Amino acid sequence: MRQLNSIGDEEAGTLEVELLSDEVRALEVGLLSDEVHPSLQFQPRRPWCRGWAIFGVIVCTFSAVYLILLLGTSHSSTVCGARSLDPLCGISAQKSQTVAPLNFLVVGDWGQDGLFNQTIVAEQMGIVGTKLNIDFVISTGDNFYEKGLTGPDDTQFTTSFSDVYTQESLQTPWYSVLGNRDYRGNVTAQVAKELTIHDSRWFCSATYQFVCDLGFSDQGERMDVEFFFVDTNPFVESYWMENNKDYIWQLAISREDYIAHELKNLTSALETSNAKWKIVVGHHTMRCVGKHGETQELFAQMLPILEANGVDIYINGHDHCLQHIKRFDSPLHFLTSGGGSEAWRGRGNNENKDGGLQFYYDGQGFAAVSMAPSLFHVDFYDISGNILHTVNLLKN
């Protein structure tokens, strides 16, 4: 059992994780605290990350090594960079079915009361989730349309979440960020503990982080992955215009103060992280060729922090598509999974000038990720269960 501590509060009391099975995989969760807004203080909702007992760790480690050996045997002509992640180390789709130490799904822009093929996407998520025996689901925001929730008792939480994602494999923690649609309603409802009482899977906060243990690499080095969930909404300047009455800023009364504190806390969290893999999750795009295009405010203010602190992957929603970008002027891979329901919005005006676009699908679907100690593997699925694009990143 691990103890959980709130980030940025050394005197905060520790929280005990209730293990929901006899499998033990390490998880640490903490809020990137914001002193200006006490409403963002971390509320324990018993987040957890399924893992292994001692025997399971041994089996998992040998499985991971075996998987890496398979990759090397099948693609002996492909050399992944020793210092950075290679953008395109492909393996066959069958390899994604291997049960790795950590498996999770990523879906965004979904809360439509089951409409716009949301239920079909959910069905395929359940099938893939069963195949991978997933540990959790990441939601990239815009959790409830059109204007978020009215309060913790809003029935849309049930009609768009609990009654849609009913498959057995999806009865696992859902780690969510807030989208711009969520800020059009009572955003505090989504971070309230009352929702977890309604459905124990739900976990949402403005900013938070957790660590999952991946076991040992074939060199005997312990490997782990740390996830950093950020609130990107206050960065978008157009949301704050006087003539824009769509947004209710319950969590960010002062845009300047909120952004300054979030960037300060994110920088500190990244700098002090010892994780071998670092993944940041936010709602808005940074690099994108979809309808919304690039979010210039994030590009200018947050991206340099991610690049300076060894972040490997930025995962987002907002554009209702599936996408993978790896530019030559940045070490990051940009993954978009925003096809949870309404899609088919078309391309934006951004051109792929530097060859960074690896994959774009203007349709519905989700992403499935499997991680071994030295491997990040992701498959992008459409609503028919077809794998549209596969990415493999290796880290020595």
Give the separation between CA 324 and CA 356, rounded to whole angstroms.
9
Tokens 């660590």 map to which residue?
211
Q: Is 244 exposed, middle or buried (0-12, 13-18, 19+ CB in 10 A)?
A: exposed
Residues present in the chain in total = 396
292: annotated active-site residue = yes
Residue among 283, 284, 292, 377 flagged as catalytic: 292
Q: Cite the DSSP H helix spans in the chain.
A: 54-74, 118-132, 156-157, 187-190, 193-198, 255-272, 296-301, 303-308
| Tokens found for residue 71 | 């990759």
Torsion of CA 313, 319, 325, 330, to 10 degrees: -60
Radius of gyration of the chain (CA): 20
Q: Which residues neighbour 13 within 8 Å (Cβ) at sequence distance 6 or greater?
A: none
The amino acid present at 81, given as its one-letter code, is G
Q: Alpha carbon 182 to chain centroid distance?
A: 17
Phi, psi of 267 (to 5 degrees): -60, -45
Phi, psi of 104 (to 5 degrees): -155, 160
**ω before 297 within 30° of 0 (cis)?**
no
Beta strands in the chain (DSSP E): 3-4, 15-16, 27-31, 102-107, 136-139, 174-176, 202-204, 208-216, 222-229, 277-281, 313-316, 322-325, 333-337, 357-361, 365-372, 375-382, 387-394
Q: Hey, which residues are catalytic here?
A: 292
